[in-house]
């Protein structure tokens, strides 16, 4: 397997970022958060970036085909020649189909979609337990990594706050949106035999080991 072209899927709080960081280190792959790619294209003033900016300035959603082209433009670079880890895209079945077509035109293919699964109650517990210090953004968790004094940052003594995004009602809404958007994606990649599922409730190191073993098996199958 000459390339590792990977897509990360999973609910907020599942640990996608942690696992993506480890894959980047393991295989020396670039990590692409798609919001960053779109903003960079707009900032750099590329032809696709200018076209995307026109939609954004009007308050419109960037069309699936255009945002896919912006992302594939980044994937078609020497930096991503050996593969990539893509997070935050695709978000819909239409985007997945468009990405498939664009990647195929480059003579490449996706290796796997890695789905890290965590049940909703665990996601709410993980995210609603997060606290951040008002002064410098140091992170804590009321269960896993509590401060020495409740509500006070160990580093600078500032008050710890719960971000609006981490309030239980907000997390539950984010999960509703995730399930609505992602279920068709799960089916899309499952139908193509590309979906690989991982239990995100396990320890991060165990999830990482499972992902590495799965990728090793995929490489072995291709060589046979």
Query: Is 93 annotated as catalytic?
Result: no
The reported pLDDT for the residue numbered 74 is: 86
Query: Is 130 annotated as catalytic?
Result: yes
Q: Which of 22, 93, 108, 174 is catalytic?
A: 174
In a domain, 154, yes or no: no
What is the reported pTM? Answer: 0.84
Per-chain mean pLDDT for the chain: 89
Per the model's pLDDT, the better-predicted residue between 59 and 152 turns out to be 152
Query: Is 163 annotated as catalytic?
Result: yes
In a domain, 46, yes or no: yes
In a domain, 12, yes or no: yes
Contact (Cβ atoms closer than 8 angstroms) between residue 99 and residue 117: no
Element (H, E) at 35: helix 34-44
In a domain, 157, yes or no: no
Mean pLDDT for 3-9 is 93
- Tell me the pLDDT band of 144, cut-offs 50, 70 and 90: confident
In a domain, 212, yes or no: yes
Q: Which of 43, 109, 163, 219 is catalytic?
A: 163
The domain that holds 205 is classified in CATH as 3.40.50.300
Query: Is 16 annotated as catalytic?
Result: yes
Q: How many domains does the chain have?
A: 1
* DSSP letter for each residue of 182-198: HHHHHHHHHHTT-EEEE
The reported pLDDT for the residue numbered 65 is: 82
Q: Which of 91, 167, 172, 202 is catalytic?
A: 91
In a domain, 211, yes or no: yes
Q: Which of 69, 93, 126, 130 is catalytic?
A: 130
Per residue in 13-37, pLDDT (tens digit) is 899 988 999 999 999 999 988 777 7
In a domain, 130, yes or no: no
The reported pLDDT for the residue numbered 224 is: 62
Stretch among 45-49, 111-115, 157-161 having the lowest mean pLDDT: 45-49
Q: Which of 16, 69, 125, 196 is catalytic?
A: 16
Per the model's pLDDT, the better-predicted residue between 39 and 164 turns out to be 164
Domain of 29, in residue numbers: 4-118+170-223
Query: Is 91 annotated as catalytic?
Result: yes
Per residue in 168-217, pLDDT (tens digit) is 999 999 899 888 888 889 999 999 999 999 999 999 999 999 999 999 99
In a domain, 219, yes or no: yes
The reported pLDDT for the residue numbered 140 is: 95
Q: Which residue, among 85, 83, 96, has the nearest Cα to 37 in the 3D structure?
A: 85
Per residue in 37-92, pLDDT (tens digit) is 777 888 888 888 888 888 777 877 678 888 888 888 888 999 999 999 998 889 88
Number of other residues whose CB lies within 10 A of the CB of residue 219: 13
Q: What percent of the chain has pLDDT over 90?
A: 58
> How far, in Å, are 79, 145, 149, 151 from residue 155 at the CA level?
38, 13, 11, 12
């Amino acid at each position: 397997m000459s390339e590792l072209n990977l897509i990360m899927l999973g609910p907020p709080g599942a640990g996608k970022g942690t696992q993506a960081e480890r894959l980047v280190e393991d295989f020396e792959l670039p990590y692409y958060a798609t919001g960053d790619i779109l903003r960079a294209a707009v900032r750099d003033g590329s032809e696709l970036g200018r076209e995307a900016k026109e939609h954004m300035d009007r308050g419109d959603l960037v069309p699936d085909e255009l945002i896919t082209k912006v992302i594939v433009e980044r994937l078609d670079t020497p930096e991503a020649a050996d593969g990539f880890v893509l997070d935050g895209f695709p978000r819909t079945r239409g985007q997945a189909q468009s990405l498939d077509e664009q990647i195929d035109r480059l003579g490449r293919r996706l290796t796997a979609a890695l789905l890290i699964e965590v049940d909703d109650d665990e996601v709410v517990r993980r995210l609603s337990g997060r606290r951040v210090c008002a002064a410098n953004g140091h992170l804590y968790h009321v269960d896993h990594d509590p401060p020495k004094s409740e509500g006070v940052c160990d580093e600078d003594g500032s008050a710890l706050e719960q971000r609006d995004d981490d309030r239980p009602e907000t997390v539950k809404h984010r999960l509703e949106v995730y399930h609505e958007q992602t279920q068709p994606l799960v089916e899309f990649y499952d139908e193509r035999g590309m979906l690989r599922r991982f239990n995100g409730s396990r320890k991060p190191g165990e999830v990482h080991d499972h992902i590495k073993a799965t990728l090793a098996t995929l490489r072995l199958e291709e060589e046979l």
